[in-house]
Structure formats: C-alpha cells, structure tokens
Chain A
Amino acid sequence: MPIDPTKPVKILVVHGVEIADDSKLDQDKDIDQLVKSRLGGIALDYEVEMYKYEDIEEAAQKDLRRIAKAIVATPVGQVITDKILDLVLDVVINLKDDSTAATIRAGLMQRILNYYDAGHACFLVAHSLGTIYSFDVVNELMRDKQYFNRNEWMTWPVQGLVTLGSPIGLNMFQTGKRRTVTPMGAGMEWFRWLNYWDRTDPVVSGSIFGKQLSGYQIAERYIKTDPNQGWVIRDRIVDTGKTWLLAHTAYWANSSVGDGIVELIAS
C-alpha cells in the first residue's frame, strides 16, 4: 500500500552503541520532545517510535564477552568493565557483518515495511552505529524494484534519513556496498539525507581526544554529479555546545538537529 499523506508521519529513531538493555532506551522521547519544541506553529501530524536492537547484540556478545574476559583477566584487564566491553562489542558485531548484524538489519527493514504497509510515511533518525544499519537498510530497500519509484514518492518506504554523529566516514565502515548509495534512476523527486556532526565528536573523527575536523566530507563524499543518483545529501556541522565525548551524546537535545528534522519532513 503506498503512503497516505493524511496518516501520521512516523519518525523512527535508531539508537547507536549502548550500555543499557532495550528496556532502558528512550531516545524516542528525546526526539519527540525536540521536534515538538521546534515546530514553531507548524501543524505536523507525527509519531516517534524507536527501533531497539541492543538485546539482540547482547545475546550475540556472550561468547565474545567470555573470550574477552579471559584475555583481560589481569589487574589492568579488570579496569575494562562490562560496560566498555558492551560498547566495543557492539561495533565488532557490525564490522563482522555476521548473522547478528543481518538480524538487526532485517528487523529494521521489517519495521519500516510495517509502516509502509499501513500507509505511513517514515523518516529515519539514526545515531552513531545506528546510522550504519539505517544506511544499509535504506540502500537495500532502494535496490528492491517494488519500492522507490523515483517519480512516485508515495512508493518510498523511507522518505528521508537523518544521521547524527555517524562513523560512516571512517575507513573501517567503508566496505562493500557501503562505498556508494543506490542510484534512484531518472526522475524529478529527490531522496534527502542530512548528516549532522559536531567537529569535536570523537566517533565521527576517530580521534579519541576529539581533535577538531574542518573541511571534512562525510556524507557528501557520496554525491555524484549524475542527476540519476536522485539523492540530496548534506553534511551539517552542528555545535552541540559540548566537547569531546559529551558532544557525541548531545545531538538529541540540539535545536539545529530539531530544526533539520522539521525542515526535512516539511520539504
């Protein structure tokens, strides 16, 4: 069933690496609050929901965690707590691109297609590692001929993508199909991707001390001059008001990010 613009728009939040289990994740509430605070009088019918996958990763991490704990069973190793392992292993799972990563992507795709089948437009707002899963799923959907007819936006299961603090510019994530975006073919409608990043966010730069980046292209590296690509891609530098690691988790409350989400849905 194609999109019905009279139905509420779904904003689907996809979290990044987490140290909590699924029951404690509530970034959907942050985004709901943020969008509400930035509407500025625009009557927009929307609902925010969240795709959680931390419990899937938790289950897959058991063996890796056992091995890691054996390796670090030293006085120094004891400093490496469960929480640090949790963060590192989330990334390892994505990089391994094994069945766990595939399960997470399949779950996200199913959630999007459930909205689509019910006629809801969907905008993805993804953070950190969640941006990698979201990017993969959007591009996979675009490769499926039954969706994303370029000239009929109502056939698009995802209407736009917002990425926050994405590590997609790092070499470790530049593999396989992730080196390009899926071209949409000839047409007049444009798929929009806004990539927000703070100059001192260490997850974006890969610099643990939050070295400032400038003149750095992340999402815009994907732009091709071929109009058949069909994507409008923008890197947006955002000042979260915080530095270093705090910058990576500060996007959820940032006015510019909220304005960007409203701008994207209103376009």
Chain B
Amino acid sequence: MKFATRTLLVCLCYSLLSGCTTYLYQGRITAKDSADIDREVIVSWSKTDPLIGAAKADTITLRTACGIPITFDEKDDGIFFFGIIGSDIPLATAATPEATIKCGQILGHHKVEEIGPGPLSLLINCRPQAGHFVGTQRQYLKARLEPYLFTVSESKEWSWLGKDIVLPLPVCHH
C-alpha cells in the first residue's frame, strides 16, 4: 500500500474516533446572591457528540458573579448540588449523619444529556458559610423556596479533533 493511501487511512480512522460536534448550553439571569446583592448568574454545561458512539455531557455549573462555582451532579434520582455539612446551611435544617446535603436541584430532569435549549428551572435551598481561605467571598445564588427560571440557549461547533470547552463566566464588578 502506498504511503499516501496509508496516511489517508490513518487520518480517516483517527477522525472517525476523534471527530465530534461540541455543544455549549447557557442561560443568564440577574438575581440576588446569598449576601443579598444583585448579581449576574450563569448556568452552563457542554455536550460532545462524537462521530462514533453516544453523546456525553458535562456536569452543570452555576456561576454567580463574584461568587464561587457550584456544581450539579447527576445521580440516579436526579441532578443535585450537594452542599457539605458545616459549609452549607439548608433553609430547613434536618439532622443527618451524612457528609453531604442536597442544597439544590435541576427540576424536571434526570440526565444532563437530555437537557436542551429552552426553559430550565433550578432550586437553591442552602446558604454558604465563610470558607477557610476565601472568607465571606464564599457566596452563591440566594436560597429561596421558589425555583429560579433560566432560558437556555445552544451553540454548536464541529471539530475533527474536538475542542477545549470554555464555560462562560459572569463579570464581577464588586
């Protein structure tokens, strides 16, 4: 087999394994953070759909301007933001021997891969305690009983080798 043909075949195989479409999902609102200051808040995640194989999605991240990131992890019973006892205080305190507490939830969904553009509602029901190394900068979206509603948009890009995904960050004006 000639060198050029062989090279072409290798490139083709490699592209079949690594070529993909990446999707970025994001929604923005302005709302109060846990220090009661109006902030821009962005919910975002990505999804990669390869040429061969099933699509895979990121965890969902919520960034509040000037605050810390919080992450929603996909579990069998839903998509939750897990706080840590001592670091996050739930609105309704329940005694529990476990390390983590459910401090937030993506409503109406169980799999991140299945979430597309459109309305997305999420709950936050904890408030943060100061951190050892960042003190009172440890803030996120304010806890409340009603869900927050985002309108999620989608952008997509094709790539032969995949691409590094950069999630959007709200601007902190302090």
**Which residues of A are interface residues toward B (Cβ below 8 A)?**
5, 9, 37-38, 40-45, 121, 153, 159, 188-190, 192, 198-200, 209-210, 212, 225, 227, 230-232, 234-244, 246-247, 250, 253-256, 259-260, 262-263, 265-267
Contacts and interface: CB of A to CB of B under 8 A. Distances in A.
A148 to B, nearest CB: 15
Nearest to B14: A244
Interface residues of B, number: 53
Nearest to A215: B76
Nearest to A250: B164
Contact of A232 (B46, B65, B100, B131): B100
Interface centre among A153, A209, A230, A267 (most CB of B within 10 A): A267
B36 interface: no
Interface of B: 17-18, 20, 22, 45-48, 50, 53-54, 56-59, 61, 63, 65-71, 73-74, 82, 84-87, 97-100, 131-134, 137-138, 161-167, 169-172, 174
A59 B79 CA distance: 47
A44 B133 contact: yes
A230 B99 CA distance: 8
A243 B63 contact: no
Which DSSP category, helix, strand, loop or mixed, fits chain B's interface? loop
B162 A237 contact: no
Contacts of B161: 242, 246
Contact of A5 (B46, B61, B133, B163): B133
B100 A241 contact: no
Contact of B58 (A42, A237, A253): A237
A40 B54 contact: no
B132 A242 contact: no
A242 B48 contact: yes
Contacts of B71: 236, 256, 259-260, 263
Contact of A239 (B48, B69, B73, B170): B48
B48 A40 contact: no
B59 A236 contact: yes
